[in-house]
Amino acid sequence: MRGRLAHQVDEPAAGSWQPKHPRDAPRLLSSVTSQWWVAGGWALDLFVGGQSRPHKDLDIGILRRDARRVLDSMPGWEFFEAKQGRLYRLEQQEPRLEVHSLWSRPIGQSQWVLELMLDESEGDSWVFRRERKVRCALDLAISYNSEWIPYLAPELQLLYKANRVRAADDADFQRVAPHLDDRARAWLHDALKEIDPDHPWLGSGDPRPPAARAPLR
């Protein structure tokens, strides 16, 4: 493992994002051999099979334990830790444990291209960083659409959105929850009970079967 270097740049988290679609991810990440997946709102769109609204950026999830390997496999890119509205350049060090997001772009480009989300894990389990008792087998945490684009399972993505529910998050829940299968719905229900027994999403659901994983329109 390489030694840690000082964080050399501290600047406001600002700048424009280059619009990207999940179909761009395999090309942008072609040199990455570690597991990655589409996260955020795009992940829910891939699950449902249609885009719900414009997205300002393309979130890509990776396991924190793979972060250094992923960054080393993208030598033409620069990466910045995003924390509390500021950016800190990463050189050869591991991302700090309190940092969960890396902004990235090709070297020499002004627009941001990918936001790397650092997910926790232990052995063969995905671990929810806000409550480590909440876990999911890694082979269930990642799903694929019919174009074989990997994305974070919708029940996990909804759990992230459940922390501080905004109008857009609630709209995502109302759109996606009816399409969850029984296993995913039960997992999300139990996870919500663990983090907040009074969460407004508890008790919500729909008996309809899960949607077919159609290509994203």
Average pLDDT over residues 126-135: 97
Instruction: Give me the architecture of the 1-203 domain, per CATH.
Output: 2-Layer Sandwich (3.30)
Pairing of strands 125-127, 114-122: antiparallel
Tokens 């079967």 appear where? 209
* Region of 132 on the Ramachandran plot (φ > 0 left; ψ -120 to 50 alpha; else beta): alpha
How far is it, in rounded angstroms, from Cα 134 to Cα 117?
Answer: 18
Between CA 98 and CA 200, with CA 129 as vertex, the angle to 5 degrees is 125
Q: Which secondary structure element, helix H or strand E, spans residue 58, and what is its range?
A: strand 58-63
Report pLDDT for 10.
Answer: 56
Q: How far, CA to CA in Å, does 39 sit from each of 1, 25, 45, 48?
A: 27, 11, 10, 14
Nearest alpha-carbon partner for 59 in 166, 163, 152: 152
Q: What pLDDT, on the 0 to 100 scale, is given for residue 4?
A: 37
Q: Provide the 8-state DSSP code for 24.
A: G
The pLDDT assigned to 47 comes to: 98
- φ, ψ of residue 62 to 5 degrees: the values are -140, 165
How do the domains of the chain map onto residue ranges? 1-203
Note the residue count of the chain. Answer: 217
Quickly state the pLDDT bin for 217 (edges 50, 70, 90): very low
The pLDDT, as a whole number, for residue 11 is 60
> Is residue 93 pLDDT above 60, yes or no?
yes
Q: Is residue 184 within a helix (H) or strand (E), and if so which, with residue range?
A: helix 182-195
pTM confidence score = 0.88
DSSP tally for the chain: helices H, then strands E: 7, 11
d(CA 114, CA 27): 12
Residues 171-209: pLDDT tens digits?
999 999 999 999 999 999 999 999 999 999 997 654 333
* CA end-to-end distance (rounded Å), the chain: 42
Q: What is the pLDDT of residue 14?
A: 74
Look up residue 151 and give its two tokens: 């994305």
- Which of 8-22, 149-163, 192-206 bottoms out in mean pLDDT, i.e. has the lowest? 8-22
- How do residues 52-69 score in pLDDT, each as one tens digit? 999 999 999 999 999 999
